[in-house]
Amino acid sequence: MRFEIIDRVAVLTLDRQERRNALNAEICDEIRAHFTSVAGVGGERVNGVGAIVIAAEGSAFCAGADLVLRAADVSDGGGIQPGGNDSFRPAFERLLYCIVEHPLPVFAAINGPCMGAGMQLAVGCDFRVASPKAIFSIPASKLGIVLSAANISRLSRLVGPSMSRDLLLASRSLNVDEAERAGLVNRRADDVRDFTIAWADEVARLAPITVHGHKRALHLIETGLSQDGIAELKALEETAFMSSDLQEGLEAFAQKRPPEFTGK
């Protein structure tokens, strides 16, 4: 796996081509560590980073969990015991939680097959850009796996209950056209990596406090607003209205120039 900062974008590139970029616990923890390294508070920027891209080398985005290792976990015939011989699930859930809760917008640059845990990873991102070669599938019912409630909820909110049933119960695969119609794909591009990095850089140049506030607000609304959530959203709103970025945005608009946001 590679980690680099390009302009205002942190780019994580899966590079395990011999396993079609399949995930294991170690890789999940490594990705999460990189996410944590660029996580500021609110609109604060770390090393100038304002967005994150997950990309991949080779012909596949991510083939899912490393099934060779998963098969070894159940070789004793006793199944995979949570907290016992199952190291992948806890690491994967921690990673997805980190992505969903991260203050920066996260983009997936999907260059090819996006399967199982790989598709769940993409669903957890804020934006998905797909190449014409992208294929989406969650073959859990072919393996005897039940997804976590959090993952099923995210999928259903994104593509709706009907398509979720098609994907989970019938193990349907979607090509890029079908995925775009379902709302799974935000943009399409032949040069998916470069396009996604360029788009992420555009978003990274927007008002940081606003982008973070809206990402957080959407998450709280989608998962069910509590009184604490409403209070948190009110605080985010007030922070934005008291920020120097708001003054800069209004002045830039009046002066017909691009704004220079600082996240303050």
pLDDT digits (tens, 9 = 90+) for 151-171: 999 999 999 999 999 999 999
- Phi and psi, residue 108, nearest 5°: -110, 125
Tens of pLDDT, residue by residue over 110-120, are: 999 999 999 99
**CATH topology for the 2-204 domain:** 2-enoyl-CoA Hydratase; Chain A, domain 1 (3.90.226)
For the cut 50, the answer to whether the pLDDT of residue 242 exceeds it is: yes
For the cut 90, the answer to whether the pLDDT of residue 245 exceeds it is: no
Question: Residue 104's pLDDT is what?
Answer: 96
Tokens (6 digits) for 213: 């506030």
For the cut 70, the answer to whether the pLDDT of residue 82 exceeds it is: no
For the cut 60, the answer to whether the pLDDT of residue 70 exceeds it is: no
Question: Residue 83's pLDDT is what?
Answer: 47
> Can you give the residue ranges of every domain in the chain?
2-204, 208-255
For the cut 80, the answer to whether the pLDDT of residue 175 exceeds it is: yes
Residues in the chain, total:
264
Question: Residue 8's pLDDT is what?
Answer: 96
- Whether this prediction's pTM lies above 0.75 is answered by yes
Mean pLDDT of 54-69: 91
* Among 96, 77, 76, 9, CA closest to 46: 9
Burial class (CB in 10 A: 0-12, 13-18, 19+), 201: middle
Mean pLDDT of 34-59: 91
Confidence category of residue 96, pLDDT binned at 50, 70, 90: very high
* Among 130, 136, 123, 127, CA closest to 107: 127
Q: How far is the C-alpha of 137 from the C-alpha of 175, rounded, in Å?
A: 9
Whether 20 and 58 have beta carbons less than 8 Å apart is answered as: yes
Question: 52 pairs with which residues across the strands?
Answer: 10, 106
Q: How far is the C-alpha of 236 from the C-alpha of 226, rounded, in Å?
A: 15
Q: How far is the C-alpha of 264 from the C-alpha of 259, rounded, in Å?
A: 13
Q: Are strands 106-110 and 51-56 parallel, antiparallel or unpaired?
A: parallel
Confidence category of residue 244, pLDDT binned at 50, 70, 90: confident
Q: Which amino acid makes up residue 211? A: V
Dihedral of alpha carbons 107, 130, 68, 78, sign: positive
In percent, the amount of the chain with pLDDT more than 90 equals 65
Confidence category of residue 251, pLDDT binned at 50, 70, 90: confident
Tens of pLDDT, residue by residue over 188-227, are: 999 999 999 999 999 999 999 999 999 999 998 888 766 7
Whether 131 and 189 have beta carbons less than 8 Å apart is answered as: yes
Q: The tokens 């616990």 sit on which residue?
A: 25
Mean pLDDT of the chain: 89
Mean pLDDT of 8-22: 96
Please give the sequence-ordered ranges of beta strands (E in DSSP) within 142-191, or none if there are none. 173-175, 187-188
With a CB cutoff of 8 Å and minimum separation 6, the contacts of 169 are: 141
Whether 173 and 163 have beta carbons less than 8 Å apart is answered as: no
Residue 136's SS3 state is strand
Q: Give 188's Cβ-side CA count (13 Å radius).
A: 13
Question: Residue 144's pLDDT is what?
Answer: 85
| 234 φ/ψ sector (left φ>0, alpha ψ -120 to 50, else beta) | alpha
Among 88-92, 237-241, 243-247, which stretch is predicted with the lowest mean pLDDT? Answer: 237-241
Whether 110 and 130 have beta carbons less than 8 Å apart is answered as: yes
